């Protein structure tokens, strides 16, 4: 069982792999993604992954066989385990609990060579709907408080397998960064009685310089203070606290794929990380928090200054990044 | 003039390079560290760096000429500028100010081939004393609130030059992560009337499993909840809120060099980041915060989960890391 430990000084939680601890010689032996090698996520290799949790099978084919267009499986090397009790305990001054949670893989498309930016837009929409389905299912587990959906694209962004996939980790605590966003959004709401995200969308739409694109329901923005060059936010234009489709995930799929194509074209297919931030289970519907997608192309290195300060140095102003994104032909 | 911008949702500040913005084609053209190529930090090339701020010259040689054993210069491409006023202003909902601050380089030793772990221990001690001298000097500038001293060793840790050097960035705001540590330490102090760091040192010394080494004045620990495998803390054993030598920096130099040698030996000279955390200028002497050095070997990648949650997944328990460090022969 992995262990969740809290650092009492920073307030940060970490997941420590207790049994299968990496020894010093394990580092540096990076398993590189081999072009054309065996891929557990390709059709025909279903038996090499943990059993299917869910799949989209238009031909009604059997579980764990070919015929799917999207497939969800448990992570073979999960960061957290679904079995067991939390057992919050102290170790003197320190706090810890069992690493209870879920860690799942969403293979968005059977084709090994496609990515979120090149697969059929229907596959992107299916993936978004499945994220929602899995969140809804995991919410029933009273030990869990939050589901983080994320994607690592490319080796330098932390993807250990080449075949495009998203991941979700369900956690027994609301993560630090989400909690921080919620607290700032609440402070703003208490002061102004308006959602800060709604106000940002209003201001950015008026000004225009940091808007990348929009459609009827969604807007893509370069944030005012991005951590990284070409960081991009996608938000629903109307207030919505939680990631719920409302039958319009086709519009979300469209703007997400468009944004990723712009990033691919402007930056020559960079590695990137994508994350969905939504309200925690215990307060899914509220007036102060507004769900959104964050996309961070991996272009700069996190070094001592960032580790020590929590400050980021960004060499590209977001106004310029947005202009490049708007003007590129895709 | 760079710009400091605050993200109203996360509360995080970022430094945006406004004039010299990186265009998309600038990424990926990484200047690699050329073994044996020209080095601006080597003796004889003093005229290729910005003018000397301070140097140790046992032979009383002239400024910006050979003969030094340690040299401090401004960063040629500073993240912040020393001239100008802060001019805090709003941009609608957003906050920003001019990027006023200092960014200096401390070249600890003229020998291109030495690192903090291999240079004479006297050079390490000199560097620590010079960090203190520079902090003391920058404190006189009323626009500045904090100095972060840090070091990036190795390309993967963000070092753009091979010749060993430390850096300092003086900031007009107390950085987010330091503020967070201070707030948690204050909460603990309010509750217990004891310094949390002193309590941690007491508990760890009793238990022993996470102690790496100690001498008369200092202790090196694997923290209970490390972000990264083999993360190490060095702290003064007796309560001290700010990084002040008290004539015992020889003992700090010894334990720091020993720790870095252990890391080099156990992990085969990994890239690493090192940071000094100390109390901010405005409250240098206090009972709740305890200055310390953090060392993070660069062994894992920051991916979507970490970016989205602020959680870290650490595959090596600190008890094992401490054991490897204690047992290695150096």
Q: Does the structure show a pLDDT above 60 at A30? A: no
Residue B243: both structure tokens together: 């990084």
Average pLDDT, chain A: 92
A302 touches chain B (CB under 8 A): yes
**A-contacting residues of B 74-93, CB under 8 Å?**
79, 91-93
DSSP-derived 3-state class of residue A149: strand
Tell whether B169 lies on the interface with A, counting CB pairs under 8 A: yes
**Count of H-run helices and E-run strands, chain A:** 6, 15
Share of chain B above pLDDT 70, in %: 95
Mean pLDDT of chain B: 92
A101 touches chain B (CB under 8 A): no
B246 touches chain A (CB under 8 A): no
The Cα–Cα gap between B206 and B198 comes to 12
Asked whether the beta carbons of A147 and A169 are under 8 A apart, the reply is yes
Per CB-CB distance under 8 Å, the chain A contacts of B171 are 309, 311
CB contact under 8 A, B304 and A274: yes
Residue A186: its pLDDT value, please? 96
Q: How many residues does chain B have?
A: 330
Residue A19 pLDDT grade (very low, low, confident, very high; cuts 50, 70, 90): low
Q: Angle at CA A122, nearest 5°, toward A116 and A127?
A: 60
Catalytic residue among B103, B163, B165, B277: B165
Place of tokens 């060095």: B234
Contact B248, B217 (CB under 8 A): yes
Q: Which of B273, B312, B280 is nearest to B294 (CA)?
A: B273
* Mean pLDDT across B322-330: 95
pLDDT tens-digit readout, A317-330: 999 999 999 999 98
Model ipTM over 0.95:
no
Name, in order, each residue with C-beta under 8 angstroms of B77's C-beta and a sequence gap of 6 or more. none
B304 and A224 within 8 Å at the Cβ level: the answer is no
Nearest to A15 among B302, B304, B313 (CB): B313
CB distance B87 to B98 below 8 Å: yes
Q: Give the confidence band of B34 by pLDDT, cuts at 50, 70, 90.
A: very low
What is the tens place of the pLDDT at every residue in A134-181?
Answer: 999 999 999 999 999 999 999 889 888 999 999 999 999 999 999 999
Report the pLDDT value the prediction gives residue A34, as an integer from 0 to 100.
Answer: 47
For residue A115, pLDDT over 90 is answered with yes
pLDDT tens figures, A236-284:
999 999 999 777 899 999 999 999 999 999 999 999 999 999 999 999 9
Fold of A3-18+37-175: HIT family, subunit A (3.30.428)
Per-residue confidence band for A36, with pLDDT thresholds at 50, 70 and 90: low
- pLDDT of res. A327: 96
Q: Could you tell me the CA-to-CA distances from B231 to A69, B176, B241, B304 in Å, in that order?
A: 42, 20, 22, 21
- Pairwise CA distance, residues B301 & A119, whole Å: 27
Q: Is A239 a catalytic residue?
A: no
Is pLDDT above 80 for B31? no
Given CB atoms, is B293 within the 8 Å cutoff of chain A? Answer: no
pLDDT reported for residue A33: 46
pLDDT of B153 reads 95
- Which one of A163, A165, A290, A292 is the catalytic residue? A165
Tell me which residues of chain A, numbers 19 to 78, contact chain B at a CB-CB cutoff of 8 Å. 20-24, 26-28
Interacting residues of B60 by C-beta distance below 8 A, sequence separation 6+: none
Q: Which of the residues B225, B264, B274 would you substitute to probe the A interface, choosing the one with the greatest number of A C-beta atoms within 10 Å?
A: B225
Choose the mutation target among A25, A159, A206, A315 for the interface with B, i.e. most B CBs under 10 Å: A315
- Dump pLDDT digits (tens) for B125-168: 999 999 999 999 999 999 999 999 999 999 889 888 999 999 99
Q: pLDDT value at position A70?
A: 98
User: Is the entire prediction scored with pTM above 0.90?
Assistant: yes
- With beta carbons under 8 A apart, name residues in chain A contacting B196: 8-9, 93
Q: What percent of chain B is modeled with pLDDT above 90?
A: 77
pLDDT exceeds cutoff 80 at B30: no
**Are the beta carbons of B304 and A157 separated by less than 8 Å?**
yes
Whether the pLDDT of residue B96 is over 50: the answer is: yes
CB contact under 8 A, A11 and B184: yes
Where in chain A are the domains?
A: 3-18+37-175, 177-327
Closest CA of chain A from B260, distance in Å: 15
| Chain B nearest CA to A226, separation (Å) | 7
CB contact under 8 A, B7 and A199: no
Residues of A with Cβ-Cβ distance to B226 under 8 angstroms:
14
The answer to whether B232 and B91 have CB atoms below 8 angstroms apart is no
State the pLDDT at residue A20: 56
Return the SS3 of A25: helix
Cβ-based contacts of B296 with chain A (< 8 Å): 307
Interface of B with A in 116-145 (CB under 8 A): none
DSSP state of B23: P
Domain B177-327, classified CATH 3.30.428.10, yes or no: yes
Chain B contact for A290, CB < 8 A? Answer: no
**Structure confidence at residue B33 as a pLDDT band (50, 70, 90):** very low
Nearest to residue A315, comparing CAs of B170, B13, B79, B105?
B79
Angle B10-B13-B14 from CA coordinates, rounded to 5°? 120
Question: CB-side exposure of A31: number of CA atoms within 13 Å?
Answer: 6
Interchain contact, A188 vs B320, CB within 8 Å: no
Per mean pLDDT, which of A2-16, A270-284, B13-27 is the most reliable?
A270-284
Query: Higher model confidence: residue A309 or residue B7?
Result: A309
Residue A223 has a pLDDT of: 95
CATH code for the domain defined by B37-174 = 3.30.428.10
Domains A3-18+37-175 and A177-327 share a fold: yes
Full DSSP string of B263-279: HHHHHTS--EEEEEE--
Strands A13-16 and B312-314: parallel
DSSP letter string, B172-240 = SS--HHHHHHHHHHHHHHHHHSS-HHHHHHHHHHHH-TTEEEE-SSEEEE--SS-SSTT-EEEEESS--
């Amino acid at each position: 069982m992995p262990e969740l430990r809290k650092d009492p000084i920073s307030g940060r939680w970490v997941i420590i792999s207790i049994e299968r601890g990496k020894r010093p010689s394990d580092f540096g032996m990076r398993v590189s993604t081999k072009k054309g090698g065996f891929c557990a996520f390709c059709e025909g290799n279903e038996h090499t992954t943990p059993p299917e949790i869910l799949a989209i099978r238009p031909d009604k084919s059997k579980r764990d066989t070919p015929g799917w267009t999207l497939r969800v499986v448990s992570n073979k090397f999960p960061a957290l385990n679904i079995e067991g009790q939390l057992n919050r305990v102290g170790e003197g001054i320190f706090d810890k609990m069992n690493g209870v949670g879920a860690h799942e893989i969403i293979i968005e498309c059977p084709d090994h060579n496609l990515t979120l930016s090149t697969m059929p837009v229907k596959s992107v929409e299916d993936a978004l709907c499945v994220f929602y389905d899995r969140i809804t299912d995991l919410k029933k587990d009273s030990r869990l408080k939050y589901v983080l959906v994320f994607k690592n694209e490319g080796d330098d962004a932390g993807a250990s397998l080449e075949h495009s996939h998203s991941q979700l980790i369900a956690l027994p605590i609301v993560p630090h960064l989400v909690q921080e966003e919620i607290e700032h959004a609440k402070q703003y709401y208490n002061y102004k009685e308006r959602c800060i995200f709604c106000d940002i969308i209003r201001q950015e739409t008026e000004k225009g310089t940091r808007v990348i694109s929009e459609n009827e329901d969604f807007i893509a923005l370069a944030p005012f203070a991005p951590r990284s060059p070409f960081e991009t936010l996608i938000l629903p234009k109307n207030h919505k606290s939680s990631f719920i489709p409302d039958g319009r995930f086709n519009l979300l799929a469209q703007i997400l794929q468009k944004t990723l194509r712009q990033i691919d074209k402007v930056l020559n297919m960079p590695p990137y990380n994508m994350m969905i931030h939504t309200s925690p289970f215990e307060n899914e519907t509220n007036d102060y928090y507004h769900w959104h997608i964050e996309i961070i192309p991996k272009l700069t290195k996190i070094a001592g200054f960032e580790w020590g300060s929590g400050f980021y140095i960004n060499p590209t102003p977001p106004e310029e990044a947005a202009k490049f994104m708007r003007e590129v032909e895709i």
